[in-house]
């Protein structure tokens, strides 16, 4: 596979992100306007100066009119959807458009109003099929991960439950320090473990939040970046993999890895020139749709050896002030998961942390220690049938 990437050809010069939560008093258009306004306010641009827009939404709009109506613009607006990677897909397309020279400025923006639908998870209905696909919920699908992991690596199920609770506690701790997060209250391991079951061993606190929200990014060619901000983020890698969706039919698939994530991470590291991600990254925003997902992703990304990530969780490696902070903004678990906005929300955390703009009580120490790269990741679908996006950005240009 040829994947040359666009390393250091495009820069993010402005970002905006609404609070995530139950916005009963805000429409889709309101959220789009709010995210756009914050993004342009962080630059010397105006909405009229944006050449083209990429809008990501899974179910809160059906065309570019969703955004153009809100912004009262007649510019090109491309609506994209790629399950939970929808917001990141908008960013990927906007970046490649600028890198190609087609546009000087572009905005990627994602939005979702899940609370208006009364539906939890991906909105809309699946396309017609031949009837052979399993009709199971997302919690049911991801509930297959803990017993598979425990069996393969010989981890006592009760100890693994403690590890998964620890992941939830970590992300709620971080979210409690984030004024934009949906859930801003710390929880204890005991509370997590005593919560009602949703599917298998997964309880309420093992599942990510369902929220309304929007986030936006403005991208320009790198050579123009300092016209608009003194602290741009340079795009190092953008990798998207859509898997063969054969996991449920493959007798070799054991539910202890996401092959699409492994492939997209490998590609992103190659694009960015990263050889030791655990040592080189300042932070990682990963798709913690369920607590066992985050555990397995730590190994898929090479942050931990196979079968060892549970020990690193208990050791605090991925805590806010750990060796490699993971989801310092609270993640999907506490920040919430408005599908079209989540990928850009993750990038917004990189925007804050890498540029030294995060609140004092949520500032990670790895940036001060000299690391300048951040990773974002989305996983759309489920075990054995997924799309995976990995993005890497940094504050310094490569030599």
Question: What does the pLDDT look like over 343-370, one tens digit per residue?
Answer: 999 999 999 999 999 999 999 999 999 9
What letter does residue 383 receive in the DSSP assignment? T
pLDDT value at position 2? 66
Q: Which residue has tokens 């997060």?
A: 181
pLDDT confidence tier of residue 125, bands split at 50, 70 and 90? low
Residue 394, C-beta contacts closer than 8 angstroms, at least 6 positions apart: 233, 234, 236, 272, 354, 372, 373, 374
317: left (phi over 0), alpha (psi -120 to 50) or beta: alpha
pLDDT score at 248: 79
pLDDT recorded at residue 117: 73
pLDDT tens-digit readout, 139-164? 999 999 999 999 999 999 999 999 99
The full DSSP string for 174-192 is: HHTT-TT-S------HHHH
pLDDT at 386: 95
For all residues of the chain together, what is the average pLDDT?
95
β-pair type (233-242, 385-394): antiparallel
Q: What was the pLDDT predicted at 79?
A: 98
Which residues have CB under 8 Å from 109's CB, separation 6+?
32, 35, 36, 39, 53, 54, 55, 56, 67, 90, 214, 215, 216, 217, 344
How far does CA 345 lie from the centroid of its chain? Answer: 7
Catalytic residue chosen out of the listed positions 172, 287, 337, 377: 337
Average pLDDT over residues 96-107: 98
Are residues 283 and 372 in contact, defined by beta-carbon separation less than 8 angstroms? no
Q: Dump pLDDT digits (tens) for 310-341.
A: 999 999 999 999 999 999 999 999 999 999 99
Residue 247 has pLDDT above 90, yes or no: no
Does residue 265 carry a pLDDT above 90?
Answer: yes
- The whole-number average pLDDT for the span 373-377 is 98
Q: How many CB atoms lie within 10 A of CB 52?
A: 18
Task: Identify which of 113, 46, 52 has the alpha carbon closest to the alpha carbon of residue 79.
Answer: 52
Give the 3-state secondary structure of residue 53. Answer: strand
Query: 273's torsion region: left (phi>0), alpha (psi -120 to 50) or beta?
Result: left
- What CA–CA distance (Å, rounded) separates 76 from 99? 17
- Cβ count near 162 (within 10 Å): 16
pLDDT tens digit sequence for 53-75 = 999 999 899 999 999 999 999 99
Residue tagged active-site, from 84, 95, 207, 289: 84
d(CA 294, CA 170): 11
Burial class (CB in 10 A: 0-12, 13-18, 19+), 133: exposed
Asked whether 233 and 394 are in contact (CB, 8 A), the reply is yes
Residue 130 has what pLDDT?
Answer: 80
Structure token pair of residue 320: 């806010």
Cα dihedral sign for 109, 113, 117, 123? positive
Q: Tell me if 34 sits within 8 A of 235, measured CB to CB.
A: no
**For residue 262, which of 290, 229, 301 has the smallest C-alpha distance?**
301
Q: Whose CA is closest to 212, among 185, 251, 258, 180?
A: 180
For residue 172, give both structure tokens: 């709620």
> 8-36 pLDDT, tens per residue?
999 999 999 999 999 999 999 999 999 99
Q: What is the pTM of this model?
A: 0.96
Which residue is associated with the tokens 């994530």? 261
User: How many Cα atoms within 13 Å fall on the side-chain side of residue 65?
Assistant: 2
pLDDT reported for residue 128: 76
Work out whether the CA dihedral 163, 169, 175, 181 comes out positive or negative: positive
Judge contact between 202 and 143, C-beta under 8 A: yes
Share of the chain above pLDDT 90, in %: 89
Question: Does residue 17 carry a catalytic annotation?
Answer: no
pLDDT tens-digit readout, 102-114: 999 999 999 999 8
Q: Could you confirm whether 172 is annotated as catalytic?
A: no
Q: How far is CA 377 from CA 126, 172, 287, 362, in A?
A: 24, 19, 6, 20
pLDDT category of residue 41 using cuts at 50, 70 and 90: very high
- Which residue is listed with tokens 């991906």? 122
Name the DSSP letter for residue 231: S
Task: Count the Cβ atoms, other than its own, within 10 Å of residue 33.
Answer: 19
CA distance linking residue 279 with residue 270, whole number of Å: 16
Beta-ladder partners of 375: 284, 392
């Amino acid at each position: 596979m040829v994947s040359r990437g666009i390393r250091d050809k495009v820069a993010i010069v402005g970002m905006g992100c609404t609070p995530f939560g139950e916005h009963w008093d805000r429409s889709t258009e309101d959220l789009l306007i709010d995210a756009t306004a914050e993004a342009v306010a962080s630059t010397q641009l105006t909405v009229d100066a944006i050449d083209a827009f990429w809008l990501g939404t899974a179910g809160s709009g059906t065309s570019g009119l969703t955004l153009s109506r809100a912004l009262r613009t007649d510019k090109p607006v491309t609506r994209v959807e790629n399950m939970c990677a929808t917001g990141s897909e908008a960013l990927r397309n906007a970046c490649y458009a600028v890198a190609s020279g087609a546009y000087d400025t572009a905005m990627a923006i994602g939005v979702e109003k899940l609370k208006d639908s009364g539906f939890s998870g991906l909105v809309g209905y699946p396309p017609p099929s031949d009837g052979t696909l399993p009709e199971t919920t997302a919690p049911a699908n991801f509930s297959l991960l803990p017993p598979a992991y425990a069996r393969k690596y010989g981890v006592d199920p009760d100890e693994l439950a403690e590890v998964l609770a620890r992941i939830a506690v970590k992300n709620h701790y971080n979210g409690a320090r984030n004024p934009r997060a949906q859930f801003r209250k710390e929880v204890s391991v005991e509370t997590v473990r005593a919560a009602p079951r949703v599917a298998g061993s997964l309880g309420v606190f093992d599942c990510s939040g369902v929220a309304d929200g929007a986030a936006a990014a403005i991208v320009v060619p790198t050579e123009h970046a300092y016209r608009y901000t003194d602290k741009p983020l340079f795009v190092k890698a953008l990798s998207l993999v859509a898997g063969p969706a054969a996991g449920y039919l493959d007798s070799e698939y054991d539910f202890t890895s996401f092959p699409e994530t492994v492939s997209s991470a490998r590609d992103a590291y190659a694009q960015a020139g990263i050889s030791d991600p655990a040592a080189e990254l300042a932070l990682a925003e990963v798709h913690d749709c369920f607590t066992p997902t985050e555990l397995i992703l730590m190994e898929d990304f090479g942050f931990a050896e196979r079968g060892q990530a549970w020990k690193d969780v208990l050791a605090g490696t991925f805590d806010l002030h750990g060796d490699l902070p993971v989801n310092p903004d609270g993640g999907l678990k506490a920040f919430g998961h408005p599908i079209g906005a989540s990928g850009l929300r993750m990038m917004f955390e990189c925007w804050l942390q890498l540029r030294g703009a995060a609140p004092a009580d949520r500032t990670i120490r790895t940036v001060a220690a000299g690391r300048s790269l951040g990773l974002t990741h989305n996983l759309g679908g489920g075990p054995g049938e997924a799309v995976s996006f990995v993005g890497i950005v940094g504050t310094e240009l490569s030599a």
